[in-house]
Structure 1
Amino acid sequence: MRWLEPVWRTVTPWGWALVATLVVGVVVARALGWTEALVAAVAAGALLLGAVPWIVGERWARARIGLSAERVPVGSPALALVEIARPTRALPPRQVDLDVGDEEAVLDIPPLEVGGSVLRSVPLDTSRRGLRTIGPATLLRTDPFGVLERRHRLTETRTLVVHPRIVRLPGGAAGIVRDLDGEAAAERTADDISFHSLREYVPGDDRRLVHWRSSARLGELLVRQFEPSRRADALIVVSTDPREYDGDDFELALSLVGTLGTAALADRRTLRVVESPRAERSRAEPVDAATRDRLLDALAVLEPRSEHGVAAAARAARGVAPGSVAWLVTGSKASPRALRTASNGMPAGVVAVVVRAAVGAVPARSRLGDADVVTVGAIEDLARSVRQEAGR
């Protein structure tokens, strides 16, 4: 009986009233011989049959949807562009309906010549990050009496991705520890490219590192040691525990993650982004950060959904290769204890920077143990804070 469902959907409430009049009229006319009932049944049947040609046949219009941009940051203008054409001599519609999220836009169509078209634009809401589904465009065909109606789907759907807003950081700001031409690390290694000094040979040293000329001059074996060159790769840990955020703090936190992440990618640094684990003692959930668009697309749909905050996220991220700097992003309600636990959870040699998203707060910097804590009240405050950190 499924094949009958489209038929049932074409009949309006007024149409069902006519069907009932037809059935009752025929039954009463046959049972009681009432001519009036038969006349009413014939009239109802005539209206039903007369409505059929209005909803069958080819489409009266063709349409296609385009977007002014498929990805936009929060607050940027975006338009859905709908082109509607009249393909045949059939009377074109007066309007086309376009689904825009949970709302419906009605597009008025002027008289068109055969083969003519018209372009209509619909402003899209970009006030919040996320996905916006645009379409389909549909055409409602009905008869003059409203007995039957049929909705034609003219287009497929399109998706607009609204990214969190980001700002541009100065080059190199996303990695505090410099590359080969920058800051030297305090520890020493036996295998790198930056020579530091000579030391006495101890059993187990690689004989290839022996500096024979100096050894011959001093009469004892000396080996080379080097300064390790450290790549300023970045790890970003973002808490998705709603208890650590107040108001729009989480939106600001994602803007911070997006800004730091895109800066690292622009500097061609290895970037890893993780969110809070879903379960106790599980690994941190990875966020796709392979490219700028994929990172921002992932942030566009990220929601506060974990019961584990920044401390648990940092602990779960220990298994991720952290590079040289770890940004720990959380909200204004994260406790000092949680911030201290998170910063102490990073491996030795990793610079941990805690970034607190607190909408409207005065930008501030402080020390918590061995970690810097940066409080950001607006995304524009981040560049200044990062410059100060990078310049230390």
Structure 2
Amino acid sequence: MSAQKRLVWPDVAKGISILGVVLLHIGIGVPEGESTWLYQLNTWLDPLRMPLFFVVSGYFSTKVLQFTLRDVLVKRVWFFLVPYIIWVSIELWTKNLEWQWVFGNEPLTWRELGLNLVLGHNMGWFLHALIMFNLALVAVRKLHPALAMLLSFTPILLLPLNEHIFFIGKALMYLPLFFAGVYFRQAITAFVDAVCRLNVPALMFAVITYAVGFFSRDLWNQFTGEVVLPWYLPGMDYMGSQEVLLLVRFVEQTFQLPMALVMAVAIARIPYVSSFFAFIGRNTLPVYLGHPIALTVGYHYVQIVGQWEISMDGERLVNTTWFWTFVCIILSGAGGLMLWSISKVPGIGWTVYPPSLRQLQEMVMRPPVLRSEPCRD
């Protein structure tokens, strides 16, 4: 595989992941959006979407193994933390305003905002996860890779807290995959190379593992009653259906990951289509942070005023699910474009892509320039 291809497929992978998230939010936001074929297609991609994103993120995080804690705070966490605090706060305030109008909720307090940000209970949870995952990686950087991978599964020990801290479930499903991207980088590169050569064993491996993941989830879906399994650690007496489902989803996503890589590589080889997904992948931050704000303001606020009855069989265009689905797609694109444009504006662009702390330090420490004045009589 050429060096160029190795640069394209990760961007395509991130583009697929973020667009899938956007379509998910549109599908659950528009009445009967789950009934559209677009949403159903995205449901099929669900096990591939976020695992692919976090594996690719880990794939490009191997340099963290050479970082100190200070390095990771300055060179990684800082760049996630600034847009996370600013734009997720704006998203939470705009959403809370909607809930005030619709449900009569109380205004968002500073304490509630702080808890949301600290716990990752918000639409920007993936940035929160990247911050925590990078800190976890630098904490184990001196350990043997096998031991580090084993420690990536420790969120399961906190499973009893998942009911109150949703990030526990996210860490359980995605931290091992992030670490896999780091420690199995060479294996992933070799697999992608084999896929690009249309190596039959590699492709068969992807098909077989995808089938294992698919049928493991399908087997789980056959159960209609409450599942109860014993829990031998502190915090709870047994695992219920929600806790077991997290483990099932982890198994499903992990086994289907090779097929996700095959999909990313295949799309990366399609002219024009690959350019579109790669462009989105290179701008995941504006798209991810901008689209929920645009959907809240451009769709939900408008619905509060218009109060249209929306369904798949709506009599008028403005009453149909598909009409508002397309409107929300346009709004999501506009939201991403809005944040991308803001990132280019001097004075406020730092809210999306903050300057390095070294640049800020140089600006603060730079001595003032003394301007000479003409002599006066």
Quickly name the TM-score band, shorter chain normalised. under 0.3
Is the strand fraction higher in 1 or 2?
1
TM-score (norm 2): 0.21
TM-score (norm 1): 0.20
Query: Considering only CA atoms, is the larger Rg found in Structure 1 or Structure 2?
Result: 1
Q: Kindly indicate whether structure 1 or structure 2 has the higher relative contact order, using CA contacts under 8 Å at least 6 residues apart.
A: 2
